[in-house]
Amino acid sequence: VHDDGWFRVTVTVPLEQAELAADLLWGHGTAGVEERPDGAAVALLGGFADGADATAAHRALQGAGLVAELQRLDEAAIASDLDAWRAHATPVEAGGIWLVPPWLAPPDGVDPTDVLVLDPGRAFGSGSHPTTRLVLDLLAARASTAGRVLDVGCGSGVLAVAAARWGAAEVVAIDIDPAAVAATAENAERNGVHDRVRASARPLASVLADEAPFDLVVANLLAPIVRELAPDLIAATAPHGQLIASGLLADRWAEATAALAPLEVAEVAEDDGWVAVVLAHEVAAAHR
């Protein structure tokens, strides 16, 4: 499959296999999954910004014995997929903050200081995925005292913008996807924290070349990417700092944290088969 553009992997499964199929789509980097009920079955549509990821997801689904289809989308189909997602979007609460798309109102009674207006566009990070919510929960307890924060794989900018809202002095947000960098900058502006969020497509290694290590590093990436970036993630974490790694599958997270040694695991949080892990250079014995 040619790599440019936008791709859709559709898999139709009996209801009881929907979670497995959705996990395979998320596990291969889909930007979002739409569910269309179809009698006793459900069609899952996964959108991909990367043809290689879409192809890998398609193969994995077929390898699991499921009937899947891979399509390259034209502009009209992209617009209709995005619109379909927009029509189903709802406000999401995580870490005590409400993530609300710009075209919806926050739920009644919610304090405006507890609302982030967030348009993910084509980037990952509406807050509807457990991996994002797990990090927000862990971040909520740390951001106000965090000082300088690095968000690796910022997607929509949800974590970077939340960290700034919660009081981080400065947030460096990076993503290899230019659409994510643009979404992060727009969402920072929308929430009045653009003076403290610097979004760019700089590779992690180049950020490290001219920035001091960070007080808090958040990395909601998939396990293979965490492993690939492990040496730089370790170097990015200040001696007194913490790294929050997410996007790890519950039965396999230890493979990723092993690659992050000498960082040690301080805390593990789990939601719906996904795990986020807090790591530090030296975890006090009492917290092990």
Ligand X SMILES: C[S@@+](CC[C@H](N)C(=O)[O-])C[C@H]1O[C@@H](n2cnc3c(N)ncnc32)[C@H](O)[C@@H]1O
Q: Which residues bind ligand X (CB under 6 A)?
A: 123-125, 131-132, 135, 152-155, 158-159, 174-177, 180, 204, 220-221, 225, 229, 247
Quote the least distance from Cβ 274 to ligand X, whole Å.
Answer: 10
Torsion (CA) 224, 227, 232, 237 in degrees, nearest 10: 110
132: closest CA among 165, 114, 169, 158? 158
Query: Tokens 């459900």 identify what position?
Result: 42
Cβ proximity to ligand X: between 122 and 148 the closer is 122
Quote the least distance from Cβ 150 to ligand X, whole Å.
Answer: 11
Q: What letter represents residue 216's amino acid? A: L
E strands along the chain, which residues?
A: 7-14, 32-38, 41-48, 68-72, 92-94, 97-100, 115-117, 148-152, 170-174, 197-200, 214-220, 237-249, 264-271, 274-280
> How far is it, in rounded angstroms, from Cα 211 to Cα 206?
9
Cβ proximity to ligand X: between 12 and 136 the closer is 136
153: closest CA among 55, 244, 78, 90? 244
Cβ proximity to ligand X: between 66 and 152 the closer is 152
33: closest CA among 51, 2, 54, 14? 54
Cβ proximity to ligand X: between 115 and 152 the closer is 152
> How far is it, in rounded angstroms, from Cα 279 to Cα 76?
44
For residue 33, give both structure tokens.
């999954």
Quote the least distance from Cβ 237 to ligand X, whole Å.
Answer: 16
Cβ proximity to ligand X: between 66 and 171 the closer is 171
Cβ proximity to ligand X: between 42 and 124 the closer is 124
- Sort 150 into a burial class: Cβ within 10 Å, 0-12 / 13-18 / 19+: buried
For residue 180, give both structure tokens.
């994510």
> How far is it, in rounded angstroms, from Cα 129 to Cα 133?
7
Cβ proximity to ligand X: between 10 and 220 the closer is 220
Quote the least distance from Cβ 107 to ligand X, whole Å.
Answer: 21
> How far is it, in rounded angstroms, from Cα 274 to Cα 45?
20
Quote the least distance from Cβ 176 to ligand X, whole Å.
Answer: 4
Cβ proximity to ligand X: between 200 and 283 the closer is 200
